[in-house]
Amino acid sequence: MAGNVTFTMIKPDATAAGHTGKIIDKIIESGFTIKAMKLTRLSKEEAGKFYEVHKERPFYGELVDYMTSGPIVAAILVKDNAVEDFRTLIGATDPQKAAEGTIRRMFATSIAANAVHGSDSDENALIEGAFYFSTREHA
């Protein structure tokens, strides 16, 4: 059975453009409950670790630079079928390919600066949530 937790980041392009409030509204309207949330900044080391799976990809350096270019909002979200439903809500990685009404279609500027992150599995949702929040913060 699918889990009920996912993890998101509102990425630097979206926080810089002032979209944070609108994106959080859309997440709540879509039935997600916010279990933990913080406005923070990633160090190069943290961003590199978070996206370590992409280390061999050609865009890894660009991705780390971009993710450390400004503040991000990290959050743990709860809903039935959270991972899949949230990926549907954010849309495809490339905003030009994202469906109408999705967060990336509405707020992202490019495949790199694509407004939001969403976990891709129940296992990664837990790992990523623990990367930012202590157990006490999302108990």
C-alpha 39, offset from chain centre: 13
116-118 vs 72-78, strand pairing mode: unpaired
117 given a catalytic annotation: yes
**CA triplet 112, 25, 102: central angle to 5 degrees?**
45
Q: Which is nearer to ligand ATP, 38 or 55 (CB)?
A: 55
Instruction: Compute the residue count for the chain.
Output: 139
State which of positions 73-132 bind Mg ion (CB under 5 A).
Answer: 120
Among 17, 78, 106, 111, binds ligand ATP (CB under 6 A): 111
Q: Is 59 in the site for ligand ATP (CB under 6 A)?
A: yes
Buried b (16+ CB within 10 A) or exposed e, 68-87: bbeebbbbbbbbeebbbbbe
Smallest separation (angstroms) from ligand ATP to the CB of 57:
7
Contact 7, 80 (CB under 8 A): no
Annotate each residue in 36-55 with x if it binds ligand ATP (CB under 6 A) or - if it does not, as one string.
------------------x-
Q: Which does 93 bind (CB under 5 to 8 A by kind): Mg ion, ligand ATP, none?
A: ligand ATP
Active site residues: 117
Binding site for ligand ATP (CB under 6 A): 54, 59, 62-63, 93, 111-112, 114, 117-118, 120
